[in-house]
Structure formats: structure tokens, C-alpha cells
A and B are shown apart, each in its own frame.
Chain A
Amino acid sequence: MKILNCPINGPRPLQEFHFGGELRPNPLDRKDGADADWADYVFNRDGEPGVKREWWYHIPSGTWFIAERDNVTDQFQRTYLYGAEQTDG
């Protein structure tokens, strides 16, 4: 059974989670949020092998958090609440 560690609820089977996509900066946060930025945001995804920062959702408790996952080995490296990557492991 694959286990993912929710930063609030602890280690749980993967069936309790929902994948929310890669963490990507919102074009609205860019000063020059032009049409090209929006097109890139809407249509393009980064499929390069490596460690990705991703949104995951713990369904029973309604907790969104960030997981760092190596998409080559499919191993989770660490999880933390959004904005808390400096303190949580």
C-alpha cells in the first residue's frame, strides 16, 4: 500500500488523497501578466523528469498541502502546508 504523509493527519493510504496538479505560479502574480503568460499557464505543463512540487488533497479532512514527488521514481520526498516549506519536513 502506498503511503502519503499528510502534514495535518499523518501517514495515510494513497486512496485517501486526490492529486491537484503541479504547483505553478499564477500569471496574476506577475507584473507583466500578458496573454503569452496566460497561454503558457493554461496550455503547457512541465513534464521534465525530476522532483516536482504538487498539490495534494486529503479527502476526509479537506486538507490541501504540497508534496514534493520525484516523477521518475514516483517517490514522495516531503510534504508540508502551502507556505510552510521552510519549517515542515
Chain B
Amino acid sequence: MNVAMNPAPAAARRSPIHDALEARGAEWRDVNGTTFAVRLRDEPAGDDIPAAALCDLSGLNQLGVKGPDAANWLSTAGVDVPADLYESRPLPSGGRVVRFGAHEFFLEDGIAGSKASELSEQLGFGAEQVYRVEHQDATFLLTGPRSLDVMAQTCGIDFREANGGRAIFTRVAGVSCALLPETIADQQAFRLWLDPSYAPYLWEELVVIVESLGGHVVGAGRLFPDLPA
């Protein structure tokens, strides 16, 4: 018996907290093969960053590489390779690369860049002495004047003295995270990478704390007005 089948839809990454954002009336936009919540129903009007802003960026493309020739392979591909453990450097078209070990690197595209996804296609199943490390991490971005207070309530590290641009492996509300302090629109910001299976729990916890401090959950469009249409 012949059964007519429709072709499967193109694979698209979906945030592990997609449903939580959907419940907040997310306005979705497809960017680089994934969907971002660009605006939420209850966001305050205007473009200002609230006291604390929590944003889901789990749609960003990621790539992990390791192996004795990984640094050389990245360098040949035009990536500014971080020299020290946990150091991060910007990728050519936006995004960042972080050194996770002596021979291990993690790359994540920026909101508009595609270097990590290009390198992922180029690497395929791996090259000689360069091996793929699968990453499907959730990415949360916390920013705003009171973001430090959120971290003080959830983490044992004193981030007032944290060195921007260096990744920190720690626990946030009991969840193991890689955390990158950075600056967005002149505001202190923290990028959190974590196992997606813990993402709904951590998101829920952070939302409660952010909102108790007068902050809001925001869409990516508020923090990144240049989000591609």
C-alpha cells in the first residue's frame, strides 16, 4: 500500500522554555533556523532595560570542538582563539568563543552572526584530531542594574569582582552553569549556559527573583534591537 507522506518540516531548534514564553504571549521570529521570542505581552512599554531583565537566547547556534588540533583548526578558520582557560573572545561576525579546557572550545553565535553554525557545517562529523562536542545548552541572559542582586541570591560567587570576559563554572540556584559576565548597553550582564533539562526549573526560579526586584522577563528584541527580521 502506498501512503502519501508529506516531507518532514525542516528541523528547527526550539528553546527548552518555549512553553513558558508562549504562556507570556511571546511574539516569535525565525532567525538563522531557530525561533526567538522578540517581545512578550507583559513587557513594559519603551526600550529601556528594566531594573533586572531576564531574556531567553536558547536559540543561538552553538558548537563545541575538542582535540589536539582544535585550536589550530579554529585559528585557520579565522577565529581569535583564547589563550587561557575560561577566557572568551568575540567571533568575527558576532558571538563568542570560550576556552573550556586545554584542547576544548565552545562557540556560540551572536544574535546576528553565523560563524559557529558555518564552522559546525564545515566540521561535519569531525576532522583529523578535531572532534565535535555536542552542545544543546540553554542560554539565559540576565542584565540590568539589579542583576547583581539576582546573582547574590542564587550563587555563591561575589560578582562585584568578577573579571568580565572570563567564564565561571558554578551553581546558580543549585543548577550547574557556565556563566559569562559581560556588558550589554552599558549594563552589567550575565550569560548563563546550562543543561536544557534544568532550564524550566532555573527559569522559573530566576523569574520569581527578577520580578520581586522590580524586573521583567523581556524578549530578545529589547536587548538586541538589531535582531534580523
Q: Does the CB pair A9–B169 fall under 8 Å? A: yes
Contact of B178 among A8, A58, A60 (CB under 8 A): A60
- Majority-rule SS of A interface residues: loop
The total of chain A residues at the interface (CB under 8 A) is: 11
User: What chain A residues lie within 8 Å of B177 (beta carbons)?
Assistant: 60
- Beyond A60-B176, A60-B177, A60-B178, whether A1 also contacts B171 by CB under 8 A is no
Tell me if A61 is interfacial: C-beta within 8 Å of chain B: yes
The CA of A58 and the CA of B170, in the complex, are separated in Å by 9
Q: Does the CB pair B169–A58 fall under 8 Å? A: yes
Please report the number of residue pairs spanning A and B whose Cβ atoms sit closer than 8 angstroms: 25
User: What chain B residues lie within 8 Å of A59 (beta carbons)?
Assistant: 171, 176
Q: Does the CB pair B156–A16 fall under 8 Å? A: yes
B175 CB to nearest A CB, Å: 9
Tell me if A15 is interfacial: C-beta within 8 Å of chain B: yes
The contact string, 1 if C-beta is below 8 Å from chain A, for chain B 168-202, is 11110010111000000000000000000000000
Tell me if B85 is interfacial: C-beta within 8 Å of chain A: yes
Tell me if A12 is interfacial: C-beta within 8 Å of chain B: yes
The contact string, 1 if C-beta is below 8 Å from chain B, for chain A 48-88, is 00000000001111000000000000000000000000000
